[in-house]
Amino acid sequence: MQSAGVSCLINMAYSLAVHGGAGTILRSTMTPELEAAYRKGLDNALNAGTLVLSQGGSAVDAVEAAVASLEDFPLFNAGKGAVFNHIGKHEMDAAIMDGSNLAAGAVSGVGNIKNPVKAAREVMDKSGHVMLVGAGAEAFARECGLEFEDDAYFYIEQRYKQWQDAVAEERVTLDHSEKKFGTVGAAALDSHGNLAAATSTGGMTNKKFGRVGDSPIIGAGTYANNNTCAISCTGHGELFMRSVVAYDISCLMEYKGMKLNEACNLVVHEKLVRIGGEGGLIAVDKFGNVSLPFNSDGMYRAAITSGGLKMTAIYKD
Ligand code: ASP
């Protein structure tokens, strides 16, 4: 869907956008109960982030709080409810970026960390590195005192079934016929004029052991820069990595002077489509404008601004 931009107000005190993934999300296959549940998950995340922003808190704290809320919500593919990889494990990825100083932190291929976005935040704040993976990332999260859960916590029957079906059909993840990219993310502008973005995911069902997607890759699935915008992506990670989606949008704004919507629409509806990259993203610019473009059937998305906008949507129309 071409994004016409949700708002064009200048100098708003704060803006927040969240997503719960893009893909084959059709009204015809949704029940009212399930739709209400998804909307509740998005609302919870908006509330968690707004609580931070409305009190003058930082964009980084807001996106961390919003993404942690989405990770705790079992219907989304991140934290509790993360998809199974080919060997029946949850291997999760997350990233966070502070647009005020270009600080960034990410974890990849981690198991049992209750909130991978919190681990990404610790990496950014305390490790002296940008990305930690696997056992090293888990050990670091333990040192930081983060919460761990056993495998049963992450198990959701529906995800297990999706994985079993994929295995039975010997479906390669990348040929996934039922494309649902349930990754979660948030992008925010705070009242101090700082931007931040965060993304968290279980990746793609039946993905190869060790596979990393775009979500934890700074500049691909996650990026924030006070000069331009904050972005969190969802979609077919390999294509988003090859297109360096989030950084490309920032560059189009910084070097070509494009407006947020113009840059987002060019990348999502033209550049990604040209190479078969399905998905979408949420973006907030330094003026508080919000853009929520996607080229799939739907994207779980919501946004709020201190200027009075509040919206939640799922489908194309
Ligand atoms: N982009 C994620 C990945 O490829 C999947 C998603 O957005 O749901 O890992």
Q: Which tens digits make up the pLDDT trace of 190-244?
A: 999 999 999 999 998 889 899 999 999 999 999 999 999 999 999 999 999 999 9
Strand, coil or helix: 284: strand
Ligand 1 touching residue 204 (CB < 6 A): yes
Q: Which residue has the tokens 């893909």?
A: 23
pTM of the model: 0.93
**Nearest alpha carbon to residue 8 among 299, 301, 261, 302:** 261
Residue 108 covered by a domain:
no
Which domain range does residue 239 map to? Answer: 15-98+156-315
* pLDDT 10s digits, 281-301: 999 999 999 999 999 999 999
Q: Which residue has the tokens 């739709």?
A: 35
**Nearest alpha carbon to residue 91 among 43, 42, 135:** 135
Q: Is the pLDDT of residue 104 over 70?
A: yes
In the DSSP assignment, the letter for residue 123 is I
pLDDT confidence of residue 9: 43
For ligand 1, the distance from its centroid to the CA atom of residue 117, given in whole angstroms, is 15
Q: Is the pLDDT of residue 173 over 70?
A: no
Edge-to-edge order in the sheet of strand 222-224: 222-224, 229-235, 279-285, 290-291
Domain count, the chain: 1
**Burial grade of 41 (CB within 10 A; 0-12, 13-18, 19 or more):** buried
Residue 40 covered by a domain:
yes
Mean pLDDT of 154-181: 70
Residue 115 covered by a domain:
no
Residue nearest to atom 7 of ligand 1 (CA): 234
Which residues, 6 or more positions from 266, have their beta carbon under 8 angstroms from its beta carbon? 252, 258
Residue nearest to atom 9 of ligand 1 (CA): 203
Residue 133 covered by a domain:
no
Question: What residues are labeled active site?
Answer: 183
Residue 144 covered by a domain:
no
Mean pLDDT of 161-169: 81
CATH of the domain at 56: 3.60.20.30
pLDDT confidence of residue 84: 87
* pLDDT 10s digits, 45-60: 999 999 999 999 999 9
**Residue 240 CA: which ligand 1 atom is closest?**
1
Ligand 1 touching residue 234 (CB < 6 A): yes
Ligand 1 touching residue 235 (CB < 6 A): yes
Mean pLDDT, the chain, integer? 92
What is the percent of the chain where pLDDT is above 90? 78
Residue 118 covered by a domain:
no
Q: Which residue has the tokens 């990849």?
A: 108
Taking each helix axis from N to C end, the angle separating 32-53 and 59-72, rounded to the nearest 10 degrees, works out to: 150
Residue 4 covered by a domain:
no
For ligand 1, the distance from its centroid to the CA atom of residue 77, given in whole angstroms, is 9
**Burial grade of 15 (CB within 10 A; 0-12, 13-18, 19 or more):** buried
For ligand 1, the distance from its centroid to the CA atom of residue 183, given in whole angstroms, is 6
Residue 248 covered by a domain:
yes
For ligand 1, the distance from its centroid to the CA atom of residue 308, given in whole angstroms, is 31
pLDDT confidence of residue 171: 65
